[in-house]
Amino acid sequence: MTALLELKDVSKRFGGVQAVRDLSFEVRDGEILGLIGPNGAGKSTLFNLINGVFKPDTGSVLFKGADITGQKPYKVARYGIARAHQIVQPLGALSVLDNCTVGACFGREDLPLARARETAYEVARSVGLGDRLESPASSLTTAGKKRLELARALSARPRLLLLDEVLAGLNPAESDQMIATVRKIRDSGISILM
């Protein structure tokens, strides 16, 4: 079975700080792979290397066999990689539905606005935001904003979802709900790196 995502000897340094050193691993179809490490261990930097925010100093990033090393984030999104960030920053003045529509417009399928809106509607409902579609994103609770971040990423119709600290700031009940949602996402055919 071929790897969906493969990192080969990836390294990144910021001045005197070695954030990631010679990291190699694979994510396969249908897999949830978790990265564990203390704050400052390089987990978010690794996500930035995968989705094109940073270019590795050495090594390569392959997605479905294609070398995507150092490609711009919008190109990486077109391949089918989406990311939910640790620090959620929704477009606060826009509605929940409009935030998700943005994700769909700039995702893997390059959807026109009308189709993007349909996708956004479906995805927002699937993560539990169906009753808040017209609410301003800024009005959501922390848990709601985490769900919105997830919905915006899922609206891009990814094959691989990068979840950066998706449980941070959630209480135990909210964490349990989010874990169930993550499993449901994986069961729908999307691989997850978290």
Which residues lie below 8 Å from residue 36, measured CB to CB, with a gap of 6+? none
Rounded to an integer, the average pLDDT of 34-63 is 93
Which residues lie below 8 Å from residue 52, measured CB to CB, with a gap of 6+? 68, 70, 71, 72, 73, 75, 76
d(CA 43, CA 92): 27
* pTM (2 d.p.): 0.89
d(CA 16, CA 116): 44
d(CA 188, CA 101): 20
Q: Running DSSP on this structure, what letter comes out for residue 95?
A: B
Rounded to an integer, the average pLDDT of 162-178 is 84
pLDDT of residue 1: 60
**Is residue 181 pLDDT above 90, yes or no?**
no
22: helix, strand or coil: strand
What the block records as the tokens of 130 is 């169906």
Rounded to an integer, the average pLDDT of 118-145 is 90
d(CA 109, CA 106): 8
Find residue 27's DSSP bridge partners. 5
d(CA 57, CA 150): 29
Average pLDDT over the chain reads: 90
**Is residue 141 pLDDT above 80, yes or no?**
yes
pLDDT of residue 39: 83
What the block records as the tokens of 6 is 């493969």
**Is residue 40 pLDDT above 80, yes or no?**
yes
